A = this chain, B = another copy of it.
Amino acid sequence: MDGKIRMSLDEVRNLTESALVRLGLDERQVAAVAVTIVAGERDGCAAHGLYRLLVCARTVRAGKVTRDAQPVVRDVARALVRVDCGGGFAQIGFEAGAPVLAAKAREYGLAGLGINNCVHFSALWPEVEALARDGLVAFAFTPSHAWVAPAGGTTPIFGTNPIAFGWPRPGGDPFVFDLATSVTARGEIELHRREGQPIPLGWGLDPEGNPTTDAAQALAGAMLTFGGHKGSALAAMVELIAGPLIGDMTSVESLVADGGAGASPIGGELIIAIDPSGFLGSAAAQHLARGEQLFDGIAGQGARLPSERRYRARARSLVEGVEVPARLIAEIEALFDADAD
């Protein structure tokens, strides 16, 4: 059962969609959620790939997802839009809100989208990448569950609170990063626990507040922020701007609402998009081209350009498909063995 199974991306999509359908999600959510899961598997981000189906199943079966949720778009200010996901997955909110966000960014120079009342995967790179492919500079932020202690503390209060950024590159894939303000993603620690692997020191604290290399202990205790007090400050920023600022939950509130179900976080997401033509008018292309010198300067000295690894994995996956642990496929199939729902 420790072997790997090779699958084409179409097979990944089919498996994902059929599992989501069997969980009772309606067509809109199946399609929107599958985009993220296929992107995760395709781009080499296992924690957001097929593994997420296990989390989806737990979340849906715990009654935390409205299976036929319909997003409601509300124009709240000239350059701001909110989408109420009605308790569905965040992806339907992004799909409904992104075109409005992009239109507002082009009209006003920049714009903001608040996605509310949603169940969230915390995979933000597909969203900022899509906006950057549309020619916009994009930022995305979301809290999660209170899993991460602030620098100098031991009690979890922040989520993994990712910050994602997308920048359009003339004639190429956008420059994109999506980084948890925790040292690592929660899913990574869960994958270590599943594989029985120790985690590096510095990723988490046990429930007594001591540094630990035991994945299960860190999951029960507290994760840590990256970069000490600086990462901690950024994590607080994400809590504030993608929580109270858009009228949605903090990570502490989300974990309380979870009530021990172990479901995905619920709450909101903030996306900001800037149209380069807003600042630069017809000179936008000329200045965006100067961004290329920065990328050359990074890659030219052998340093890794963020998103490079993801695009390489994607190019490979599109040709060769992906390798998925056989045990994971078995677990996904077992979700429906007893028709547990």
Where the two chains meet, the residues of A that have a C-beta atom closer than 8 Å to any C-beta of B are 76-80, 82, 107-112, 114, 137, 149-155, 157, 163, 165, 167, 175, 177, 179, 226-234, 236-237, 239-241, 243-247, 250, 252, 272, 274-276, 278-281, 283, 287-288, 290-291, 293-294, 297-298, 301-304, 306
CB-CB under 8 A from A291, the residues of chain B are 240, 243-244
Q: Which of B79, B150, B290 contacts A110 (CB 8 A)?
A: B79
Q: Shortest CB–CB separation between residue A23 and chain B, in angstroms?
A: 32
Q: Which residue of B lies closest to A146 (CB)?
A: B297
**Given A279-B80, A288-B244, A304-B151, A252 and B109 contact (CB-CB distance below 8 Å):** no
Q: Which of B157, B179, B290, B298 contacts A243 (CB 8 A)?
A: B290
Q: Which residue of B lies closest to A237 (CB)?
A: B165
Cα A228 to Cα B106 in complex, Å, equals 35
Q: Shortest CB–CB separation between residue A90 and chain B, in angstroms?
A: 17
Cα A245 to Cα B240 in complex, Å, equals 26
Q: Which of B110, B179, B245, B247 contacts A111 (CB 8 A)?
A: B110
Q: Which residue of B lies closest to A226 (CB)?
A: B227
**Given A233-B165, A279-B112, A293-B252, A155 and B301 contact (CB-CB distance below 8 Å):** yes
In the complex, are the beta carbons of A279 and B240 less than 8 A apart? no
Q: Shortest CB–CB separation between residue A55 and chain B, in angstroms?
A: 24
Q: Which residue of B lies closest to A106 (CB)?
A: B77
CB-CB under 8 A from A272, the residues of chain B are 110, 272
In the complex, are the beta carbons of B153 and A278 less than 8 A apart? no
In the complex, are the beta carbons of B252 and A283 less than 8 A apart? no
**Given A294-B239, A304-B229, A78 and B245 contact (CB-CB distance below 8 Å):** no
In the complex, are the beta carbons of A230 and B233 less than 8 A apart? no
Q: Which residue of B lies closest to A179 (CB)?
A: B230
Cα A244 to Cα B290 in complex, Å, equals 6
